[in-house]
């Protein structure tokens, strides 16, 4: 894979370059190591029989490459305390980021747009909890997305929304990386 386009929100990439240069190198190495594989045979009406890029195969490659470099899952479990909530039994929730290392968070998202945007909320959560300094969102660019199953989002839309929200959300430095084969 290669970086087609990137966007540095609130200096996300610059923070990586200055404070976490080794982490930045590892992220770029992982991206370069992952191969876009056409192995998913479409069953969609308009694309029946076409062989498309497989998000599952690419996700497995990202997982292996990041783990090999010592990146770990960051998970926070918590009790949900809601004012005047009628249920007596306690409820619990969790937030999780796929890859974390020394204050740098990375999510790889080949899903629907809502999941890309939710990744930003998770970054904000861990930033607010002082468990992250900077985050990286790795997503498909439109040329890659066009060769995947319908429903997969493309990063240009995410960057567009971040630009419109300006500094308001997320209020955490993020480097958004759009990939193409």
Question: What CATH number does residue 9 fall under?
Answer: 3.40.91.20
The C-alpha atoms of residue 38 and residue 25 are separated, in whole angstroms, by 27
Cβ neighbour number for residue 170 with a 10 Å cutoff: 23
Q: Does 168 reside within a domain?
A: yes
Note the pLDDT of residue 44. 59
Instruction: Give the residue carrying structure tokens 């479409």.
Output: 42
Assess contact for 12 and 47: CB atoms under 8 A: no
Share of the chain above pLDDT 70, in %: 93
What value does the mean pLDDT take over residues 21-43?
A: 88
Q: Does 84 reside within a domain?
A: no
Q: Comparing 38 with 166, which gets the higher pLDDT?
A: 166
Q: Does 63 reside within a domain?
A: yes
- The domain containing residue 39 runs over which residues? 2-79+89-180
My answer on whether omega of the bond before 170 falls inside 30° of 0, hence cis, is yes
| Average pLDDT taken over every residue of the chain | 92
What value does the mean pLDDT take over residues 37-52?
A: 67
Helix, strand, coil in percent for the chain, rounding step 5: 40, 30, 30
Q: Does 156 reside within a domain?
A: yes
| Total domains, the chain | 1
3-state secondary structure of 84: coil
* pLDDT tens per residue across span 84-119: 899 888 899 999 999 999 999 999 999 888 899 999
What is the reported pTM? 0.91
Structure tokens at 95: 């937030």
């Amino acid at each position: 894979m290669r970086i087609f386009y990137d966007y540095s929100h609130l200096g996300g990439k610059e923070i990586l370059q200055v404070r976490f240069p080794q982490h930045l190198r590892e992220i770029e190495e992982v991206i370069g190591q992952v191969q876009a594989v056409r192995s998913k045979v479409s069953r969609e009406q308009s694309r029946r029989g076409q062989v498309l890029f497989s998000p599952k195969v690419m996700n497995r490659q990202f997982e292996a490459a990041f783990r090999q470099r010592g990146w770990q899952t960051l998970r926070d479990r918590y009790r949900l305390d809601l004012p005047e909530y009628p249920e007596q039994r306690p409820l619990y929730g969790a937030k999780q980021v796929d890859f974390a290392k020394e204050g740098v968070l990375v999510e790889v998202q080949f899903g629907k747009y809502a999941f890309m945007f939710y990744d930003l909320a998770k970054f904000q959560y861990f930033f607010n909890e002082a468990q992250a300094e900077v985050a990286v969102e790795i997503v498909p660019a439109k040329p890659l997305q066009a060769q995947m199953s319908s429903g997969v989002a493309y990063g240009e839309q995410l960057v567009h929304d971040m630009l419109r929200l300006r500094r308001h959300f997320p209020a955490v430095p993020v480097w958004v990386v759009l990939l193409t084969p």
